Each structure stands twice: as structure tokens, then as C-alpha cells.
Structure 1
């Protein structure tokens, strides 16, 4: 009897387990369904709230737009211009510091200091409204910088993952940066680029680093070219030897196994030649990029462009602000009524 009842008990236990699992899934699906139902209810409630107060919100937008139009008419027309630069020798922080200094002078309305710094009139200095600088973000800059780290120090790279390197990559580490200036006059920008560039280029520290770097490049370039010339000479010698031995072999029946070794050496010289040529190419690229402390990709436009857009339009900004203020007031009022009703129901 005990042996017959054991399978039945196991079947009962399995059946109970499946029932419990089924109830668990049912509760889970019911919970998910309730979440979507609450979201739908909240969405419909929000639409009904907006429908009831649509007239008030429209009036708020119109009033805000009218006030914004008043300020828009009184607002000065502003112009912008941009300069793209490629800093070298870790001079980026100095450049950012200089741009922030110029912007502080603008905020303080120190037209005398601005006029002296940029060698412009006080009138032009008073027209300056803002200086800012930001990097042209490019993921290739991060990848290339990490590759340079790996090639230069494999031990560090093993304990320093790409994600860690990417998280510590700052705005100063990008290659190209944009200097953006806003002014009330559209013809003042061409007078600004030289002082901005000079503030970094004439720095003695960066000039010393530049001189040492270029001297090392020139020395390496000279040594590599000498090595390349010697390899070319050796290749010519090997070619002559191979040609002479080939003539001897054609005139007789002797087989010279040493010629094979010479051919292998000639191939090794060819590979070395290619490696040196590649290194010379890298040096040429470095010279083209790092002959100056600050490479200017594009200067400020002689005539600035007029700055437009919703984020600069007072009509749009005041209209949106009016709607937000009325919307917050209505929501607070609705919440207060709900709390009063809840209190009375207790």
C-alpha cells in the first residue's frame, strides 16, 4: 500500500507546484496589466485637465507672447562668429583659461581692458557680448588617444581598460576646439583672432616644448634618411652580387645554395626599408600638425552671421514661460482641492 501511495503523493505535490506557479504568473500579468491601466488613466486624466483649461493656457501663451514681443523689439541684434583651432603640446587648458578670462571681462563690462587686450576701440569692445569655447567631440579622438597609449606603454594599457580611459577623457583632450564669439557689431570679429592666438603661441613654456619636439623630429628624420640611404646602397650591392652569381650559374652546372640566403637578406632589407619609410611618413605628419603651438583651422569670419532661433526669441520664450506658470498654478489649485476633499471625507 505504501509503494502504491508514493507515486500518487508525488503527483499531488507536482500538481500543487504547477498550481502555485500558475497563480504566480497570473499575479505577475495582473500586476503588469494594472501598471499599464494606471498609465492609461493618468494620460487620459492629463488630457481632460488640458481640455478643461485649454482656453486659460492659450490666453497665457498670447499674453506671454505679447510681453515677449515688446522685449524682442527692444532687443539688440547680435551676431556670431567661430574660429576652429587645433592646440598642441597640452596648450588646450591655457586656451580655455584665456577665453574664460575674456568672457569675464565682458561680464564685468570692462571695455578698457578688452580694448587694450584686442587692440580695438572702446566702442568695439562694448559691442562684445560673449566669449565661449567648446570641443568638437569626435569618438575617433578617444580611440586614437587610447591606441597611442597602448603603443607607448603596454603595461599601463593592460591595467587600464578602454572604458576607464573613455570615462576620464576630458574636454581638453579632444583635438579640435571651437571658439565662439557673440557681438552687437558684425564687423568686429576679424580683429580678435590674432590676440587670441598670440596669447597661447607666445607663451615661453609652450615655445620651449615646441622647439625641443621639432628638434627631436628633425634629428630622427635625419637619422632615418641616412639609414634609408645605407639600406638602398646595400640592396644595390646584393643585387649586383646576385646578378654576377646568376651569370656564373648560367655558364656552368654548379648550384649555389648561398644565393638563397642572399635573397632572404635582400627581402629583410626591403622590409626594413618599408618600416623606415613608414616612420618617415609619420614624422612628416607630425611636422605638419605640430610645427605650431596652436594650429588655426579656420579664422573668424570677417562679417558675423546673425544669431536666430527659438532659444534666442523672446516671443517664444515668454509664451512658453506664461503657459508653464499658468499650468503650475492650475496644478497647485487642483492639488489643493483634492487635499480639501480628502480631508472632508475623513
Structure 2
């Protein structure tokens, strides 16, 4: 018994030593982490103090530079014309997208590069004063992911099974060009917000002008109109036929025999065989319904194809300011002046330091 007590005491002391070592390791680890963050905090503190000392010593130079640059930028901003913008959204028909893009490129060249306000006024039938305020034309497709998916599904319908396995939606979208879309956004940059009101009438007329597309539109409308007329005649004949059968049914109801279980009206006349079906009026009703739907679709198509280019959203009466804060010199000049003064002072101090080191 006496021999077991010393053994237990030794085990307890060993465990205590292990715990002390473990806690010492943890303490050292926390100490190193604390020292690391402390050193970072000291560096940041010293850096802040150094910057404050630098700004305090050079405050007059910064103040002079910032005030002068702000005044200069403010004066230049007053003399600089403001930038206004507005957008028009269109839908192109009869593959007129390429023509629209070519016309916009032409106008962009005249406005942004040639600065030929006289030619712009001539083409758009506006005053030269209004044309002189126009600084740019822009166009881009108005892309809707839902429309892209619909185009993809329609394209897949015309492919064989092998091509379907090789085509992916991403590959299809990547291969699309701006000419594949019907909807487009046209933007105009100007220095007068009221110039857009004069563009509302003549601008779209200029874009639509194309003799070939005009003739194509007229032929298409004539064909649609003829098809609508034919369908209307068919509907009239079928409706008359249906009414005639209904009249016969009423007058000859006591002589008619129905074997279809209510699915239609079976009429028998003269020496017809007992099971010889003369007409099933439900088929006439179905055909009338289908023709009515087709007529409605053609009427919608007729309306949608009235113009080579449809205006979904026209220019507003006045443009809106599109300038960013970076376009204002009263903001950018002081920032540039501050950076320039800082670099200059740093270079001067570095030069002095190097000279002292050489002495």
C-alpha cells in the first residue's frame, strides 16, 4: 500500500507538468499573435502620424493648389457645354437592320468626326442650329434573354438530329450578331436638351427610306390582305352552309336519325343508305374556329408590317443630363492637383535625403 502512494504522486506531478507545458505553449502562441497585430497597429499609427505631419507641414501648398484647381475647374465647367442624351427603341421588319446600322454609322461620322451640321440638317430635315448641337449617334441591339431563348428554340426546329446533339444554347448565343435581333436602341448625344423634339418626326422617316424595302412591304401587305379576303369568303360560305344544315335539322327533325351519340348531327335524305353520313356539323364548326384564328393572326401581322421600322419608344421631348462626376473639372482638377503636389513634395524630400546621404 505504501508503495502505491508514491507512484500515484509521481503520476499526478507528471500530469501537472504536461498541463503547464500545454498552457505555456498556448500563452506563447497568443503572445506571438498579439505581438504581430501590435506591430501592424504601430506601423499604421506611425503611417497616420507621418501623413498628418506631412499635411500639416505642407498645408499651405495643398490649400493653394486645391483652391486654384477648384476655381479653374469651375470656370472651365461653366464654359463647357453640358451633355444630354436620349434613346429611341425600334423594331426592324423585312431584314432592314443592316440599313438602320449603316444610316446610324453615316450620321455618327457626320456628327462626331466630320462635324458637318449642314449635311446632318439636310438628311434629317432639321435646322442647322439644331444639327450643330448633335454630337453623336449610337445604336446597339436591345437584347432580351427570353427573346434569345425563343430564337434558339425556333432555330432548333429546323435542325436534324445530328446537329441538335452538337448545338448548345451558349454556342448559339455566341454566334448571334447584332443583325439577328429585331429590337434595337438608338441613342443621340447633344449639347441642347430641346433638340430631341425636332428629331421625333423626321428621324424615323430617314431610317425607313428604302425603295426596295418599300416595294417588299407593299407586296407583303397585298398578299396578307388577299389571304384575309379569301378566309373571310370561306368563313361566309361555311357559315351559310352551317345555317342551312341547322335549318334542315329543324324542319326535318322528325325524319332525321342520329347514330353518333350526340357528337354531331347526322342528316339523311332521299334514297340514302341508313348508315350513309351526309354531314357532321361539328366539323364545320371546328373549321370555322380554325379559320377565325388564322384570320385574326393575319390581321395582327398586317398591322405589324405596316412599317419597315416600328417605333416602340420615341425620343422624349427633351434630353436628360448624362454627365458623370468625372466629367466635371471642378472635381477632377483638385484630385489631380492633390496627387501632383504630393508627388512633387515627396520627390523634393527624397532629393534632400539623398544629398544628405552623399555628404
Other-structure match for 2:124: 118
Whether 2:251 is the aligned partner of 1:236: answer: no
Offset at 1:215?
1.4
- In the TM superposition, what are the counterparts of 1:1-346 in structure 2 within 5 Å? 69=74, 71-106=76-111, 107-149=113-155, 153=158, 155=160, 158=164, 162-248=169-255, 256-257=258-259, 262-263=264-265, 265-310=280-325, 312-315=327-330
Contact 2:124 2:206 in 1 (8 A): no
Distance 1:248 1:324 in 2: 105
Of residues 303-312 and 293-302 in structure 1, the stretch that sits farther from structure 2 once superposed is: 303-312
Q: What SS does the corresponding residue of 1:181 show, helix, strand or coil? A: strand
Distance 2:181 2:334 in 1: 39
Q: 1:115–1:260: structure 2 CA closer, same or farther, 3 Å change rule?
A: closer
Mean Cα deviation higher: 95-104 or 226-235: 226-235
Give per-residue Cα distances to partners, 1:154-173, cap 9 Å, x unaligned.
Answer: 65985765544433333333
**1:91-120 deviations in whole A, cap 9, x for unaligned?**
122111111211111122122322322334
1 CA distance for matches of 2:199 and 2:341? 45
Which consecutive residues of structure 2, in runs of 5 or more, have no partner in the other structure?
Answer: 1-36, 56-61, 267-279, 348-359
Unaligned 5+ residue runs, structure 1? 1-40, 250-254, 334-346
Q: Which secondary structure does the structure 2 equivalent of 1:247 belong to?
A: coil
Q: Which residue of 1 aligns with 2:27?
A: none
In 1, distance between residues paired with 2:251 and 2:341? Answer: 99
Alignment partners' CA distance in 1, 2:131 and 2:246: 71
Relative to its length, the structure with more helix (as a share) is 1
Structure possessing the higher relative contact order (Cα contacts under 8 Å, 6 or more residues apart): 1
Measure the CA separation in 2 of the matches of 1:166 and 1:310: 35
CA drift at 1:291: 0.6
Deviation of the 1:65 alpha carbon: 7.1
Report if aligned partners of 1:118, 1:191 keep a CA contact under 8 Å in 2: no
Q: TM-score, length-normalised on structure 1?
A: 0.65
CA RMSD for the aligned pairs?
Answer: 4.2
Q: Which moved more, 1:81-90 or 1:97-106?
A: 81-90
**In the alignment, which residue of structure 2 is the partner of 1:20?**
none
- Please tell me whether the aligned partners of residues 141 and 175 of structure 1 are also in contact (alpha carbons under 8 angstroms): no
Q: How far is the alpha carbon of 1:292 from its aligned partner?
A: 0.8
Distance change in 2, residues 1:270/1:165 (3 Å): farther
Please tell me whether the aligned partners of residues 263 and 282 of structure 2 are also in contact (alpha carbons under 8 angstroms).
no
Matched residue, 1:4 = none
Evaluate the alpha carbon distance shift between residue 256 and residue 294 of structure 1 in structure 2; reply closer, same or farther with a 3 A threshold.
closer
TM (normalized to structure 2)?
Answer: 0.63
